[in-house]
Amino acid sequence: MPSSRSKHLLPGFGLTMGISLFYVTLVILLPIAAMLLKLAGMGLPEFWRIISSRRALAAYQITFSSAFYATLINGTVGLLLAWVLTRYRFPGRRILDALVDLPFALPTAVAGLVLVTLFADTGWYGQFLEPNGLKINYTQAGIVLAMAFTSIPFVVRAVQPVLEEVDESLESAAETLGANRWQIFTRIIWPTIMPAFIGGCVLSFARSLGEFGAVVFIAGNLPGLTEIVSLLIFIRLDEYNYEAAAALAFVLLVVAFLTLAATNALAAWQTRYVERSA
């Protein structure tokens, strides 16, 4: 149990809470409030007309489906990466571990330019893919890859510390009792890491929904084909149509909020289930 002294290493509760609330208000609440004020200035019919237009619906379909596919990729590859980094020791492990965080440090516009170059018809990957009918640039596949690249660290960094805390003596005991590797994973490891895995996947999905810089270069930005919601919001802002931009942004905000809320509820249920089973 932490001592009472450790609670007072920083200035008192009033000051620290005040600074925290001021920062949250300045960075999060005020921008959201400004968006809501823009929405309040339009009627419900106008709001519905904007968010249900044919172009907006196409942008939703492209954005949400691409984010979903990117999350499937990140869930699979991210879990494998976390497993390799946690369970094995090999030359270059530290380098691989550092590379996982590269999408966080790399400007997303730079990532988009790199991907476009790699998958161009003369690029390292494109020169082999395009002759075989696999075109990535200016297609939804490119959007998925860009989203997956920028959001995969969320899955790895969510699962990795939990995997490190798994009690390996339980695995050894299960193996002694005759359990195979699949049974050990599904009965012991997976219930422990599942809340973190789901949380990482949801963060990856939410990050993909709002991705702009990496996608805008590789998508081609064709309305109805490869135009994402973030780009449509940018276009409306460029047209000084702030109400339409706010309406579209509100849709993304609601979807991200509901996704996070559902995941938190699922994680809480999973935690109670594991505690009852223990």
Find all residues with CB under 8 Å of 125, minimum gap 6, and list them: 118, 119, 136
CB atoms near residue 271 (< 10 Å): 12
Q: What is the pLDDT of residues 11-35, one digit of tens each?
A: 667 778 888 888 888 888 888 888 8
Q: How far is CA 182 from CA 72, 179, 189, in A?
A: 21, 8, 10
Task: State whether residue 212 is helix, strand or coil.
Answer: coil
What is the chain's length?
A: 278
Q: Which amino acid is at 65?
A: S
DSSP 139: S
- According to the model, what pLDDT value does residue 174 have? 76
Q: For residue 228, what is the enclosing H or E element?
A: none
Is residue 7 predicted with pLDDT exceeding 60?
A: no
User: At residue 169, does pLDDT exceed 80?
Assistant: no
Per the prediction, the chain carries an average pLDDT of 85
Structure confidence by residue, pLDDT tens digits, 29-85: 888 888 888 787 788 888 899 999 999 999 999 999 999 999 999 999 999 999 999
User: 249 in helix, strand or coil?
Assistant: helix
The arithmetic mean of pLDDT across residues 231-242, rounded, is 89
The residue type found at 25 is: T
Res. 9 pLDDT band, cuts 50 70 90: low
* pLDDT score, position 41: 76
Task: Please say if the pLDDT value at position 8 is more than 70.
Answer: no
Question: What pLDDT shows up at residue 165?
Answer: 84
Q: Look at residues 193, 202, 194 and name the one whose alpha carbon lies nearest to residue 258.
A: 202
Residue 175 has pLDDT above 60, yes or no: yes
User: Which pair of structure tokens corresponds to residue 13?
Assistant: 């509760």
For residues 111-121, give the mean pLDDT.
88
Asked if 183 contacts 149 with a C-beta cutoff of 8 angstroms, the reply is no
Amino acid at 98: A
**Amino acid 78: pLDDT:** 94
Dump the DSSP string for 17-48.
HHHHHHHHIIIIIHHHHHHHHHHHTS-HHHHH
Model-level pTM? 0.84
Q: Which residue has the tokens 């984010």?
A: 67
Report residue 41 CA to chain centroid gap: 32
Locate 86 and state its tokens: 């946690």
Instruction: Decide: 39 and 247 in contact? Cβ < 8 Å.
Output: yes
Residue 198 has a CB neighbour count (10 Å cut-off) of: 20
More confident residue, 6 or 146: 146
Mean per-residue pLDDT, 167-181: 77
Q: Would you state the structure tokens that stand for residue 162, as one six-digit string?
A: 């939990």
Any residues with CB less than 8 A from the CB of 213 and at least 6 apart, and which?
107, 108, 109, 111, 112
Alpha-carbon distance of 14 to 17, in angstroms, equals 5
Confidence of residue 216 (pLDDT cuts 50, 70, 90): confident
